[in-house]
């Protein structure tokens, strides 16, 4: 009976020890910290900054030129659509018959609505492109 009690006590002590040390490998990894400091002089920083600028600047310039081309195309489309819308507003339908006149008015109204929607879409695209160009110009200014 005494031997059994001793074995039980030893087993419980062993369990407590296992629970306390089971996390030891993870804890040693967590507590192992190594501090590494790397000191770089200012000329190295400037050299890397110049290299990065040389690498990125052509891409930024290409994107800016593409955005400007897109804006000019959108401006041309907008002016063309405005001209069409004005021409559609000033055009008088031929008065052959009342049925044809109402049909022409409906057709013109649809065309005007379609042109107005196209214009709104183009204006939104132009605003988005302008925002992109502004962001790129700001980024270019910050780099210099």
pLDDT at residue 101, as a whole number: 52
Give a yes or no: residue 62 inside a domain: yes
Domains in the chain, number = 1
| Contacting residues for 133 by C-beta, under 8 A, at least 6 apart | 64, 67, 68, 71
Band of pLDDT at residue 98, cut at 50, 70 and 90: very low
pTM exceeds 0.85 for this model: no
Instruction: Quickly tell me which residue has 């062993």 as its tokens.
Output: 14
Please say if the pLDDT value at position 123 is more than 60: yes
DSSP annotation string for 61-115: HHHHHHHHHHHHHHHHHHHHHHHHHHHHHHPPPP-S-HHHHHHHHHHHHHHHHHH
Could you tell me the residue range of the domain that residue 86 belongs to? 42-143
pLDDT at residue 46, as a whole number: 93
Give a yes or no: residue 56 inside a domain: yes
Please say if the pLDDT value at position 24 is more than 70: yes
Q: What's the mean pLDDT in 21-41?
A: 79
pLDDT at residue 13, as a whole number: 93
Q: Residue 23 carries which DSSP code? A: T
Give a yes or no: residue 60 inside a domain: yes
Length of the chain: 144
Q: What's the mean pLDDT in 2-29?
A: 88
């Amino acid at each position: 009976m005494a031997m059994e009690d001793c074995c039980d006590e030893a087993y419980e002590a062993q369990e407590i020890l296992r629970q306390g040390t089971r996390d030891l490998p993870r804890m040693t990894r967590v507590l192992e910290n190594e501090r590494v400091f790397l000191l770089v002089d200012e000329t190295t920083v400037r050299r890397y900054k110049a290299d990065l600028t040389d690498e990125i600047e052509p891409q930024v310039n290409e994107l800016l030129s593409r955005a400007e081309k897109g804006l000019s195309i959108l401006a041309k489309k907008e002016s063309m659509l405005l001209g069409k819308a004005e021409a559609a507003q000033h055009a008088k339908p031929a008065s052959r018959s009342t049925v044809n006149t109402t049909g022409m008015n409906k057709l013109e109204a649809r065309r005007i609505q379609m042109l107005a929607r196209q214009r709104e879409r183009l204006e939104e695209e132009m605003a988005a492109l302008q925002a992109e160009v502004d962001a790129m110009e700001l980024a270019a200014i910050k780099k210099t």
